[in-house]
Structures are given as structure tokens and as C-alpha cells.
Structure 1
Amino acid sequence: MKPSIPSLISTALLLGSAPFTCAERLLKSTSLNPCQTNNNFSATLFDVTFTPQNRSLAFDVVGVSSITGNVTIELIVLAYGLNVYKTTINPCDSDDFQGLCPMNEGQINLNSNADIPASSLKQVPGITYTVPDLDAKVQVYFNQTSTGTSAACVEAELSNGKTVDQKGVAWTIAVISGLALVASAITSGLGHSNTAAHVAANAMALFGYFQAQAFIGMTAVSLPPIVASWTQNFQWSMGIIRVGFLQKLATWYQRATGGTPSTILSNLSSSSVRVEKRSMQVVEGLMKRAISQLHNMAINKRSNAGSDQTDSSTQVIVKGIKRVGFRASIEPTNIFLTGYIFFLIFVIFVVLGVVIFKFVCEGLTKAGKMKGEKFQDFRNGWTTVLKGILFRIVLIGYPQMIVLCFWEFTQKDSGAEVVLAVFTIFPMLAILGWASSKVIRLARRSIAMHKNPAYILYSDPVSLNKWGFLYVQFKATAYYFIVPFLIYILVKGLFIACAQGSGVAQAVALVVIEAVWLIAVCVLRPYMDKKTNAFNIAICVVNFLSAIFLLVFSEVFGQPGIVTGVMGVIFFIYNAAFATILLVIVLVASGIAIFSKNPESRYQPMRDDRGSFIKSQSQLTTELDALGATARGESKHGFHTTKSGARIEDDDDSWSGSGGSSDRTPQVTQSQTAYTGAGGFGHAGNDGGARHLPPYDRTGSMTSSQGRFRQQGASPWQRGAGYE
């Protein structure tokens, strides 16, 4: 008996990753695509399903042919780019293909449910039915019997219904990321500033890694199936989330503002959508009823007998950002507005959450169900906290809006959407740029006055709540590192958004960008401590490795297909493992921060001694404490504002009670003079007499132990800040 199509197809599935559990084993193909020019056969319907449990092959094929005469069918089975099987079938010798002997011009209908012999099933490895996102296909050549030349070539992509693109995975990742951010906010409100800073830094780094994975999926490189599916799990971080009524709203808005919505998803029954995979010759059809146009542009214009259906069909190739939108069932013209709407929704929900939490805290306090000191800083200055949270949201949405807004400039879906992009991305760049310059000015003022950037950056709660999101994750001497970070994201996002026409250019650019960033982070080690540096360096290493894999996927090296296929599986394995490890680390840290009675004990004090300057650190008893209290303007009665209302974070240089004084000289109290003398900070630091004044503890007594500590040399602030 001649080999049957299912047995040949099944032989292709020889490679794979770890098996996924499945309810029903099957192999299917729902698309038929061209694999050569000058084809003379096209299919308007192609649906083939092989079910091993009952050994049945159900196929339904409707096509249009301009081939006449007897042909032989040559089948080539490819798995992960490797040619694993090849055979030739004579339709005249097979009962299943009598409709092709001989072939005639016009429409061809093949509809059958064939039985597969048990001997053929033994050739199929069990892993075939469970490996996700198979990279396998069958190519079929129709060769003229008389001449041996190929009259047409079509290929069928294979699937077992298993994929790593799972909504459950995407939502789980999103929820854990959100919980980590919430945990850091609650921990900060409870006064555990060190713990909150660590949890927030790790959560932001994790979120950045997810966005980097989404960037990979948005490139115009033809990705292996498993890579395209894996990166699709992270597109929620870019706002690519399908909600039915929002799609209708986006389409309405585009029409109302003069745009023309695309209709790719609504016309799947009359157009063929080719989603780029591993190369221009390896494509995946993602719809059940699609027409594969087998002619190139020149052949399409030629009139063939009985080819009315073929001529009326259209073919659309989607790649890059459009591929991501198509896989999410979002029209290409709705991608920008979808991401924009979800960014606004995120902002609104966060603002509402903060306001509701404020009223809940006040209600519980008045009802006596919550102690008055709980979240006291938040309740007293919640508007300032809200401003800082809004700035943080801008930073979180920065990569998303960089890509979507600049991509919209290339698409011009409608005039109003272009205006939205302009008035979103440029103010966002201005806000982050101004905030970064503000931090740099505060740090430089602190260095000039006190030889330590942490002094001013952490002493004023208004400055810390407003601008802290830009520098708390870094050590004090690396306050400026937010600027390189913003530039890194900007350049990376510009290549993703504006270089959609060349996947190779994007891949090369990402390798260079990630290499430079990895070197910068490894050399400078700008983050707050060793653990946070290790966490971020690990992410940079994985991002750089992913960029190298992306360059290989672009086929710039011309490697064999098997190399690309296997590297696609490796890409999924190491990224899945790494993402799991990061999620566990962040989840455990968040849980400890919320449920531990003393989460601060898990973290060592920062070397820049920022904790000594942060408000409400009553547990500290060293000489650092009194200077921190003085820097904050605290007395024994608590924190107070200046008479003129001037703050450290104001643009003027005053930070004393006489904010309107012309010389802008800080007022120095007796206790502050003692501390500046002991620590070597401020204007009084050069006064030799002041240096011999003993430190002043909380009770007003002078201790000999503190005196000995003072005589040991340079201040620990200077040593911790890197000035030794």
C-alpha cells in the first residue's frame, strides 16, 4: 500500500520539548500555502485532521487548478527545518486521490474520512502529540508525469493543538507583577522603607524583563513558532489585550476621525493571512477557512480558466507588531488605540485605588479598628504620595508608549490618533526628563553642601515621595543612572517601532544596545546593594542572550533550518525557567514584606545610610540619627515645615526657615553644628572648634562611645557613599 498523507506528516514530528498534557491527541492543518512561484493550484478550503485514537484521517479540500494531464505527487516532510522523509505518490494508484487522475482545469473537491493502518501509527513518536508549537510541515509538489517539471507546490503547516501561548500564563504573570507593586506600596506605608525599596526595585526589574520579552515578539524577524507563542504571553505589558467592546470603540473612533479601519479579521473567509514564522518560505495560517494565493503578483494578473475565485482573493502578510495584534485578534489599525486605552485604564484604576485606600484608612481609624499610627505618613500627605505614584505609572508605561506612539507615526491610522500619540509621548518624555534633571540638581546641591547626595535626596519626604521612583533603586552615588536607563529604553523602543521593515536591522540593533547596557550595568553596578545588582545583571545577561538568538532567527548567518528550530526550543526553555525563578523570588519577597512582623531584618542597611535620613526612623540610635532629624527639619515635636513654606525639593536653594533670605545660607543650630563638625558636612564642617563638639544623642547626653566613633576618621556617610 502506498504511504498515506497522515503517516508521512506524522513522521515529520521527531523533535520537541517537554510534553504538555492534553485531553485529545490529534494532528491537524488548517492552511495550505505556496512554496514556489508560478503555481497552478490554489485551495479555497483546506482542513485536515488526523486522530490516532480511531485511526481516522478526515480531510476536506476545495481548490482551483489550471493543471491538465497526469501528475505525480512528491511529498517532503520537514521537521524543524530538517528533511526527514520524502516519497512519491501516483494518484492513479490510490483510491483516495482518484479526483487527481488526471488533473483538469477548474475546481477540485476532495472530501473523505480514510482509515489509517495500525502499522503507520507505530511510526509516530508519542511526543508528537504533546510537544507545543510544532515547527513541522509537509510540502507537496505536483510534477507533470510527461516532463517531470513541477507545476505547483503547496505546503501544509502542522499542529497538535498545543501551544505555550496561554492566557492563563499571561494573567498569572500579570497578577504576580501587580501584587509585587502593591506589596511595596503597603510596606512603604507601614514604615518599612528598606523593604519597600527592595521589593519595588525587583518588581520594576521584573516588569522590565517582561517588556523586553514583548519587544522580541514585536520585531519583524520571522520567529520560530514556539518563540512567537512564548513572547505573546507578555504582550499584556504593552497593552495588547483584546476586549470586545474596546475593539468596537477603537474602530468607531477611527472611523469618526477620518481613518479607515482594517478588516483582516472580519475577512478571513475571503482573504489569506500569512503570519511570518521562521523564514519567508515558512508561514503559518491561523484561520480555518482561508484562501492561499499561489501566484506571485505577476501571475495573479493572468487570467486562468476557472480561476475566478483565485483572482478575487487577497493575501495579507503580517509581521512584527501587526503579527502580535493578529495573534491577539486585534485589527492592525486598532493596536495603537488598544494599548493607549489600557494605559489610561491603568492610570484611572490606580488613582481610584489610592483615593479609596485613603478613605478606608480614615474610616477604620475613626472606628477604632486601626491604630492611629498605621499609614500615618500616607494619610497626612496622600496627595504627595499620589503625585509620586502617577510619576511611577509614567515610568512603567514609558516603554509601551515609546513603541506604540512612534509606531503610530508610521501608520497614521487617523489624524486624531496621531495627535493623541504626539500629545502623549512628547509630554511623557518631557516629564521624565524634567524629573530626572530635578533629581540631579538635588543630588548635586547635596554633594556641594554635605558631600553626600543621599543627604537631601532622602531627608525630605516630599522629595522622596515625588521623585524617589527615579533613584531609590540605585545607590546614592548613582543617582544619575535613571538618565542612561531612559535613553536605553528610548533607543530600543525606536528601533522596535520605526524599523518594522527590516528584521535584520532590528536584530543587529538590539544586540548592540543590550551589549552596551550589560557592560554599563556590570561595570558601574548602580543598584542599591549586591542582591539587587545581581538581580538586574542576570536580567541584562538574559536579554543580551535573547538578542543574540534573535539575530540567529533573522537568518543573517544562513544557518541550516535545524539550527534555527532547535534554538527556538532552547530560547523558550531558558526564558521560561528564568521567568519562573524571577517570579518566585519576587513573590517570596512580597509575601515576607506583607506578612513578616519585622521584614527589615531581612535586609542590611544601605551603605549610603539613606535610612538615617528618611523620616520616621525612630529606631536608629547612632550619631547619624540626629543629623538626619536636623536635615529633615525635625525637632522633638516632629517634622515641621519652614515659615515660608520652602522645601528641599523647591528650585531655590533655601532650606531653612528664612526662605526669602538673599544669601540662601542654611541656618545652623547648635546641635546641627555639632553634627556637621563631627561628620564633616555643611558650612560648619571647616570650623576646628566645632569638630571637637561631641555628638548629641536623643536624650541630649554626650556618650563616650559616640565620641570614640567620631574620632575613627571620615564619616561613615562619606565611606558609605563612596567618597573615601
Structure 2
Amino acid sequence: MFSSLARLRAIAFTLSFHAIFSYASESSLFTSSVTYCSTPETLLIQQFDVEYFAANQSVSFNISAESVDSNVNVSASLLVNVFGIEPVNITIDLCGILNGALCPLPEYNFTGSDSISLPDSISGIIPSFIFKIPDLEGYAQLTLIEVGTGDVKACVQATLSNGLSTRQRAVEWTTGGITLFTLLVALWQSHDPTAILPYRLLDLICLFQSIAVSALLDLNYPVTYISFALNFAWSLSLFSSSDDSIQDAINNMRALTGGGLTNSTSSSAVAFVNRKLSPFNSDSASSSSGSISTLSSLARRTVNSSLLQQRDVAVVTSESDNVLSAGIPIYVSTINIATANAFMTVFLCTIMLIAIVIFVFGVGWASLLAMEKFRLGPDDRRSRLKRAYPSWVRAWILRLSLVMFIPIVVFAFYQWTLNDSWLSILFSVIAFLGIMIAVCYPFVVVVRSVRRSEPSVLYTDPFLLNSYGPLYAQFLPSRYSFFLPVVVAAFFKAIIVSFISSSGMAQIILFLILEVALVLRVLLLRPHKARGADVFSSFLGIIRIVCSGLMIAFVQSIGVKPIPRYALGLVLDVINSITILVVIFNIALHSGIQRLWNRHGTSTPSSRSSSLHGSSDIILEKNGASSSEDSSSDPFGRPRNPTPERNVPLDPEINQPYNPSSPTATTTDYASTRQRDSESTNLGSVLPRRWSFTPLHTPTDSSALDHSTPFESTLSRTSEEQLEKASHSRD
């Protein structure tokens, strides 16, 4: 039975795998977005679909258009551009296809489709690798030229795709699920402020944010890198959804408060990309357009409104005001978020996150009250939980502030450069001040505490360690302030992204300087308590330096060809993917999974495990700093070294330091004591030799009144007898 089920699962997996890649295995190219490359004069196009099949070397097209002029004969010029190369550039006689239905152009809305076989000389030019690589950079351009006059009557561009992309929903959900798992385990381990996993959670989210922020610069990114970086847009609180209710609400709010920029749409944003950037990679994309600048703004609005009602086919040229520039506009528009809506999207997501956090903390506090009311658990444990919970909440609020610092600051700064809606600007100011207070106040408390005392107070004071430990607990006491340059560097990155958006070269150089400074600081100061943490932090910093250095090739002024630029994009995707896997592996090591593995795979006696546990406690006690931190920062554990309620003072005669220089008195006391015991009993006394025995005597009153324990008298007399023998040997 189990074998048959295994076969069924294998068959189902094979079928699903085949279904996913069957479309890509057809080796076809198809249009993914359509725009006008010149203002339509004669022909209004509602649909323009073109698909090339490598199997039979044919081009199929489906066109729906409407002619507004009568008796117009045109020829079609088809241009295909792939990575800046034009493998196809042919002219088609429209009178010879569709049985002459397009010659002259009919004065009504017509729809037609046909398939044309390309000659071997043309189809052989198309390389086979373009059907297998993700995020193809190419477009097809159809230009209708009037026969006899040579005037351009219509120009349509359509970007090409082979169905493969580095942006995958599976990647977004997987990374989000791993982050959620890390968050849950970190919540459990964070009762100890020195636990590693909460810091690895911040490292993981910061890694995702650094990949996403690196795609916000004014660079000519290959499409594959932007698609890869979009997998982590959620880390910046940018969530794409098929439901446009949130974006529609933001559009309405902006329209009512003075917003005049372009609203978000559900259509593909790649059609509005600047023609000098990927995936167009050519200035010839708009060269065949006629005199576009002479079109009046009124005519442009009229044409665009009629076209948007039909097919959302817009006019996009190098001189249009709706062209998307590199950086934030292309990044956010690709996930159907308007440039002017970017901050409000982050702001609303932050409000939702705060509501969720308040609910979770409220449930936790209600649980503590319920435990107190119904007497659930030991009394001391309930009291410790209740005392430690406020500090635990403050620590997680600080972590949340550090996570939201980059998204809020970057998009708040960028909102100030748009001059769009006054309400959006007001919200951006409020959000900026709120996040700065949430992050800077703990800094002030930590620095003030150190100035009043010394750095060690940060690790010995339970309140400071449990509340503000996320800032410094992973660092050495002498390097407690290492968190400052990290946050300052993030602040400067936000300034670079938002306010220096006109110079990609300046942005990437400043990014590189910041990353080099951070890595050198780690290598020289070694701030972490563990050497492995220094190695891990240095590894992440070196990866950021390498990626920033490679992205210099994306600067537009350098003019790197599309194919080498695309190859560098794939290299960056691989480097970032490997880095993510390394971080996830490190998280798995610190999440406690290896404990389950060791417990399941090894069986050691309980005595050995207890002895190992005891030895580990001894080692921790030898380290003064570690023992003090653990004892002060473990609010949920067993109380260590409790202070007795009654302190009985010691006898002054007993509480005396040992003086080895007076052996005479000791010898005398020992002799008298031995003589007294020999008259009474030898119970508890030291035998004179190892194998000699003395008959027991009846205890006397003096011995009966001796309240010292046998163990205590044995130790004292043994030491005194050794001193006596040592003095006789010296004599």
C-alpha cells in the first residue's frame, strides 16, 4: 500500500513539475506589455499580441485596431531588439496578409490574427539561449508607414518575455516563512538578552532590506536584478496585491489633498520604463516616432483618455512626462505601486504592524493577569514573569524600531522630494519623528548610563540589559557603542537614496565608502564577544562591498553593453542567494535544532549529562562577567544563590584569618584537645596511623557537650596534625 502511494506521489510531482515548465519548454517569445512609441494619427490599437515559436520559425500576431482616416495604404516595419541586438528588422506588405483585409486600412474596429513563417536567414540569427534565460531584455516594435509618402501613421512597442523570471512567489513566501519562524523562536529565546537568535533575526531582515535598497539607486539595472530584488520588497513594507483597494484609497486621498502625480495602475510598469534603460537598451526605440514634441498637451490628454478607456495603451517616448526613471520609481511601479504612493503604502503597513504588535503584547499581559488571578504556576515564577514582562516588551519595541528604521526614513525622505500631497508630507514628518524618537531614546539612555557609571553597568544592571540589550548585548563592554555607526550608516544610506537620486555614480561610490568603513571597523575593533560573531559580521560586510563594487558597472555613463550587464546581474543574484543560505544555516544552528538532533541521535547516561552540566556551570562561574550577566538577565529561570531571610552573625573567635606563622599555639591547643578526647572517646577523631585502631571509650560529659560535627572536627584536627608533623620534621 505504501509503495503504491509513493508511486502516486512521484507521478503527481512529475506532472506538476512538467506543468510548471511546459510553457517555457516550448521555446517561444511573446509580448508582455504594449505602448505607443509615437502619437497615433491614423490607427488606434487596442490589442497587439505577437509570439515567436522557435519550433517552426514562425511569428503569430493578434491585432485589434481602428482606423480614423480613409483610403490609407500602409506597410508594416517589424523590429525586434534583444539585449541591444536587432536580429529581426523586416518590412511586411499588409496587402499580402489576411486576404487583403488591411489594404487599405478599414474605417472600423477590426480584429485579425495570422501566422507568418520567417525565412531561414532571419530565424537563424535568433540565438537559442534567449528562450532559456530569465528576465529577457527585448522588445518588438511595429511601425506603420504610409505607402508613397513615408509618413509614420502608427508606432507600437511591445516588450518580449519567455515566461522565466527570477521573481517568484515561492521565494517571497519562503523567505517570509523563514523570517516568521525565526521571529517565533527568537520570541521564545529573548528572555535571555544574550541569546544569539534575536540578533540573527535582525541580521536576516537587514540582509533582505539591503538587497531591496540596493535596487533603489539611479542605475541602469538589468531586469533580472530588479526582479530578484522584488522578492524582498516585503522587507521594506511594500506589498503587491491583485486587490487595488489600498492603492485606490491612497489615490483618492492624494487627489483630495493636492496630489497631482500619476496614480497607480494594474497594468505592467515595464512599458513606462525610460527607453534608455533595460529592457529597451536602445535610443532607436523612439527614433521612428514622428514629430512628437509638437503635439499639444490638450491633444495628448484627449488621446490618452480615449486609449485608457479602451486598452490602457499609453504613449511613451523619451520626452513623455510619464516615463519612469531609475531607482524608486521603477522599483515600486513594477509591483503596481505609484511613485507618489510609496510612502503611504509603507506608512499604512507600519500602522497595521503596530496594531498587530499591540494586540500580541496585550494578549501576553492578559495571560499574566490570568495566571495571577487563577494561581497558575509557582508564586515566585509568576512574580518574576510579571516583573520581567515590561522590559521584554521594551526590548521588542526597540527591535521593531530598528527593523522599520530603513523603510520609514528612506520613503519619508523621498516623499519630501515629490511635492505632491500635503497630507502625505504631514504623515511622513510624523512617521520620521516617531521612528527617530523610538531609536534615539534608547541610545541616549545607554550613553547616559555609561557616563554616570562605567560600561560594565550595561551588563550588570538587569533593567538596562533586559530593556536595551538589543543594542549592545552582543558586543564587548569596551565596544558597547558599536551599534552607533551601524545606525548612522543606515541613516546616510537613506539620504543617499532619496536626495542624491540624480547621480548614480555618486550614490554607488558613497555606498561603497560606507560599507568599507563598517567592515574595517569590525576587522580592527572586533567588537563581538565571540570570534564567530566577528567572522559572521565581517562576511556580511564583505558581501555588501563586493555587490556594491560590481554595481558600478550599472552606471549609465560607463555604458556597459547589455549582455555583460545582464551577466553581472545574474552573478549578483547568485551571490545574494548564497549569502541568504549562509544566514539561514546560521539561524538553524542557533535555533535549537541541533539539540533535537543530538538528543535523537545520541544516548548518553544521565550521570554524564549532569556532570557536564555541572562543569559548564563551574566554567561560567569562573567568568565573572558571564556569571553576572546570566544571573541578572534570566528572569524566567530558577533563582540563583538566594539570600537567607535570617543572617546569623559568626562567632568572632571563629571568624579569624589563618595565621601560619604561629604554629605553637595551634600545637598546644591540639595536644590538649587530643588528651581530652583520649580520655573520653575517639569518635570523630583522627587515627594516628592509617591502619591502627583504638578501642572506643565511654563518652564523658565534656565530650557530650561538644556540639561540633564529626566532619568539622576531623578536618580541623587533620590539618593541625599535619602542621605538628611538619614542625617535628623541621626540628
TM-score bucket of the superposed structures, by smaller chain: 0.5 to 0.7
Out of 423, 444, 448, the residue aligned to residue 441 of structure 1 is 448
Contact 1:347/1:390 (<8 A) preserved: no
Out of 174, 190, 204, the residue aligned to residue 202 of structure 2 is 204
Q: Which residue of 2 aligns with 1:301?
A: 296
Structure 1 position 318, deviation (Å)? 2.4
Distance in 2 between the 1:472 and 1:625 partners?
12
Cα 1:468–1:263 shift into 2, 3 Å: same
Residue-by-residue CA offset, 1:269-302 (whole Å, 9 max, x unaligned): 9x99503487178289xxxxxx999556523239
| SS of the residue 1:282 aligns to | coil
Distance in 1 between the 2:429 and 2:304 partners?
42
Query: In the alignment, does 2:318 pair up with 1:318?
Result: no
Structure 1 position 583, deviation (Å)? 2.5
**1:89-100 matched pairs, under 5 angstroms:** 89-91=91-93, 94-95=96-97
Distance in 2 between the 1:272 and 1:431 partners?
38
**Greater mean alpha carbon deviation, residues 89-98 or residues 206-215:** 89-98
Q: Which residue of 1 aligns with 2:699?
A: none
Distance in 2 between the 1:619 and 1:353 partners?
38
Distance in 2 between the 1:302 and 1:341 partners?
35
Structure 1 position 458, deviation (Å)? 1.1
Q: Which residue of 1 aligns with 2:49?
A: 47
Distance in 2 between the 1:572 and 1:479 partners?
34
Distance in 2 between the 1:230 and 1:497 partners?
22
| SS of the residue 2:185 aligns to | helix
Distance in 1 between the 2:211 and 2:463 partners?
35
Distance in 2 between the 1:535 and 1:161 partners?
37
Structure 1 position 252, deviation (Å)? 4.8
Contact 2:265/2:336 (<8 A) preserved: no
Distance in 2 between the 1:67 and 1:561 partners?
42
Contact 1:388/1:465 (<8 A) preserved: yes
Out of 218, 221, 233, the residue aligned to residue 219 of structure 2 is 221
Structure 1 position 391, deviation (Å)? 1.8
Structure 1 position 412, deviation (Å)? 4.0
Q: Which residue of 1 aligns with 2:642?
A: 637
Q: Which residue of 1 aligns with 2:470?
A: 469
Cα 1:311–1:421 shift into 2, 3 Å: closer
Structure 1 position 584, deviation (Å)? 3.2
Distance in 2 between the 1:208 and 1:627 partners?
31
Residue-by-residue CA offset, 1:215-247 (whole Å, 9 max, x unaligned): 122233332111111111111111111454433
Q: Which residue of 2 aligns with 1:279?
A: 277
Q: Which residue of 1 aligns with 2:186?
A: 184
Structure 1 position 413, deviation (Å)? 3.9
Q: Which residue of 2 aligns with 1:236?
A: 234
Specify every segment of 5 or more residues in structure 1 that has no aligned partner in the other structure, as ranges.
1-18, 285-290, 448-452, 599-616, 641-673, 675-724
Residue-by-residue CA offset, 1:458-497 (whole Å, 9 max, x unaligned): 1111101221111123232221122211210111011212
Distance in 1 between the 2:22 and 2:384 partners?
54
Structure 1 position 507, deviation (Å)? 3.2
Query: In the alignment, does 2:493 pair up with 1:492?
Result: yes
Residue-by-residue CA offset, 1:67-113 (whole Å, 9 max, x unaligned): 99987766554332344x244335268536956767x7988967213
Q: Which residue of 1 aligns with 2:23?
A: 24
Cα 1:302–1:249 shift into 2, 3 Å: closer
Contact 1:409/1:418 (<8 A) preserved: yes
Residue-by-residue CA offset, 1:660-679 (whole Å, 9 max, x unaligned): xxxxxxxxxxxxxx9xxxxx
Distance in 1 between the 2:249 and 2:301 partners?
38
Q: Which residue of 1 aligns with 2:511?
A: 510
Contact 2:220/2:555 (<8 A) preserved: yes
Distance in 2 between the 1:581 and 1:629 partners?
29
Residue-by-residue CA offset, 1:576-616 (whole Å, 9 max, x unaligned): 23223322332443243885899xxxxxxxxxxxxxxxxxx
Distance in 1 between the 2:586 and 2:70 partners?
62
Structure 1 position 44, deviation (Å)? 4.8
Structure 1 position 202, deviation (Å)? 2.0
Q: Which residue of 2 aligns with 1:131?
A: 133
Give the aligned residue type for 1:419: L
Structure 1 position 204, deviation (Å)? 1.1
Distance in 2 between the 1:128 and 1:280 partners?
15
Structure 1 position 164, deviation (Å)? 2.0
Give the aligned residue type for 1:317: V
Distance in 2 between the 1:303 and 1:637 partners?
84
Cα 1:20–1:575 shift into 2, 3 Å: farther
Distance in 2 between the 1:546 and 1:350 partners?
34
Cα 1:38–1:45 shift into 2, 3 Å: closer
Q: Which residue of 1 aligns with 2:159?
A: 157
Residue-by-residue CA offset, 1:247-268 (whole Å, 9 max, x unaligned): 3443454456x24375644596
| SS of the residue 1:59 aligns to | strand
Contact 1:511/1:551 (<8 A) preserved: no
Structure 1 position 206, deviation (Å)? 1.7
Distance in 2 between the 1:522 and 1:323 partners?
36
> RMSD across aligned C-alpha pairs, in angstroms?
4.8
Out of 406, 410, 418, the residue aligned to residue 417 of structure 2 is 410
Specify every segment of 5 or more residues in structure 2 that has no aligned partner in the other structure, as ranges.
1-17, 308-313, 316-321, 600-616, 634-638, 646-656, 658-731
Distance in 1 between the 2:404 and 2:249 partners?
22
**Greater mean alpha carbon deviation, residues 464-473 or residues 504-513:** 504-513
Distance in 1 between the 2:43 and 2:537 partners?
54
Contact 1:394/1:428 (<8 A) preserved: yes
Contact 2:190/2:198 (<8 A) preserved: no
Contact 2:371/2:382 (<8 A) preserved: no
Q: Which residue of 2 aligns with 1:647?
A: none
Q: TM-score, normalised by structure 1?
A: 0.68
Out of 169, 174, 178, the residue aligned to residue 167 of structure 1 is 169
**1:335-346 matched pairs, under 5 angstroms:** 335-346=342-353
Structure 1 position 429, deviation (Å)? 2.1
Residue-by-residue CA offset, 1:319-354 (whole Å, 9 max, x unaligned): 432323322222333321221121122222223223
**1:631-710 matched pairs, under 5 angstroms:** 636-637=641-642
Give the aligned residue type for 1:48: V
Residue-by-residue CA offset, 1:663-716 (whole Å, 9 max, x unaligned): xxxxxxxxxxx9xxxxxxxxxxxxxxxxxxxxxxxxxxxxxxxxxxxxxxxxxx
Structure 1 position 627, deviation (Å)? 8.4
Structure 1 position 208, deviation (Å)? 1.0
Report the identity percentage: 19
Give the aligned residue type for 1:113: D
**Greater mean alpha carbon deviation, residues 365-374 or residues 41-50:** 365-374
Distance in 1 between the 2:625 and 2:473 partners?
19
Distance in 2 between the 1:128 and 1:374 partners?
65
Q: TM-score, normalised by structure 2?
A: 0.67
Contact 1:276/1:283 (<8 A) preserved: no
Q: Higher Cα Rg: structure 1 or 2? A: 2
**Greater mean alpha carbon deviation, residues 40-49 or residues 528-537:** 40-49
Give the aligned residue type for 1:482: F
Q: Which residue of 2 aligns with 1:670?
A: none
**1:601-616 matched pairs, under 5 angstroms:** none
